């Protein structure tokens, strides 16, 4: 335990996902030694992030405007929607450069034990989108873990009734139990191009 505010900083950093006590300590001491201008920039961004970030009205991705950069891009194929859990998964799929369609961010995965049912996710928005746009394929790219699989199964059931709509799922080969964002570009790209119909 350090005295006072240094320990507070370490504690706060330690609450962040993926940062253990050792990393928290390392980051804290890095910040203590950092250039004041760097700290000011970090402070500025942290202050803005709550109020400045909004979510795209179409896909639910984080966005600086009402519609995100991908939804605004007229070169993107509007007939394909790739359904992911989180905005970070959009980045993961984008990195593969294999996908030219648009996205739909659910905002999580079904997890009844934590109280996350279909109404807590942007599933209704997805169905409305498919009903209103010229969508011919929905690629389900939820995480390869229990919640992600349960979500995929649920979505398949909901999407079955749309005539002429192909519903596909990323090919296996992704590390099970993992997070989409942790798959390397090559593996994820292969899973995408080898997607299978459901």
Nearer to Zn ion, 26 or 76 (CB): 76
Nearer to Zn ion, 56 or 188 (CB): 56
Give the C-alpha separation, 132 to 81, whole Å. 13
Nearer to Zn ion, 87 or 144 (CB): 87
Return the structure tokens found at 198. 């459901």
Instruction: Give the nearest distance from C-beta 60 to Zn ion in angstroms.
Output: 7
Give the C-alpha separation, 81 to 103, whole Å. 5
Instruction: Give the nearest distance from C-beta 141 to Zn ion in angstroms.
Output: 15
Q: Which of residues 38-57 bind Zn ion (CB under 5 A)?
A: 56
Nearer to Zn ion, 71 or 109 (CB): 71
Nearer to Zn ion, 104 or 195 (CB): 104
Contact 166, 197 (CB under 8 A): yes
Nearer to Zn ion, 25 or 61 (CB): 61
Instruction: Give the nearest distance from C-beta 67 to Zn ion in angstroms.
Output: 6
User: x/- site string to Zn ion, residues 145 to 164, per CB under 5 A?
Assistant: --------------------
Size of the site for Zn ion (CB under 5 A): 6
C-alpha dihedral (68, 73, 77, 81), degrees to nearest 10 = 0
Return the structure tokens found at 12. 């706060």
Tokens 């059931």 belong to residue: 157
Instruction: Give the nearest distance from C-beta 98 to Zn ion in angstroms.
Output: 19
Give the C-alpha separation, 32 to 154, whole Å. 48
How do 196-197 and 166-169 pair as beta strands? antiparallel
Instruction: Give the nearest distance from C-beta 193 to Zn ion in angstroms.
Output: 23
In terms of Cα–Cα distance, which of 193, 189, 179 is closest to 85? 179
Q: Which of residues 54-113 bind Zn ion (CB under 5 A)?
A: 56, 58-59, 61, 68, 71
Tokens 């402070």 belong to residue: 43
Give the C-alpha separation, 88 to 73, whole Å. 19
Instruction: Give the nearest distance from C-beta 80 to Zn ion in angstroms.
Output: 14
**Contact residues for Zn ion, defined by CB under 5 A:** 56, 58-59, 61, 68, 71
């Amino acid at each position: 335990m350090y005295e006072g505010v240094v320990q507070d900083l370490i504690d706060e950093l330690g609450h962040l996902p993926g940062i253990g006590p050792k990393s928290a300590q390392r980051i804290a001491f890095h910040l203590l030694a950092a250039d004041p201008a760097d700290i000011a920039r970090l402070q500025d961004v942290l202050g803005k992030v709550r109020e400045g970030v909004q979510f795209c009205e179409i896909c639910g991705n984080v966005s600086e405007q009402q519609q995100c950069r991908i939804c605004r891009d007229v070169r993107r194929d509007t007939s394909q929607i790739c359904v992911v859990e989180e905005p970070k998964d959009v980045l993961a799929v984008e990195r593969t450069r294999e996908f030219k369609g648009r996205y739909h961010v659910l905002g999580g995965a079904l997890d009844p034990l934590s109280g996350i049912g279909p109404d807590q996710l942007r599933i209704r928005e997805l169905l409305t989108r498919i009903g209103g746009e010229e969508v011919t394929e929905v690629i389900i790219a939820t995480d390869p873990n229990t919640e992600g699989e349960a979500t995929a199964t649920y979505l398949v059931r909901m999407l079955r009734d749309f005539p002429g709509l192909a519903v596909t799922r990323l090919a296996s080969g992704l590390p099970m139990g993992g997070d989409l964002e942790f798959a390397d570009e090559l593996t994820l790209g292969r899973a995408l191009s080898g997607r299978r119909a459901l």
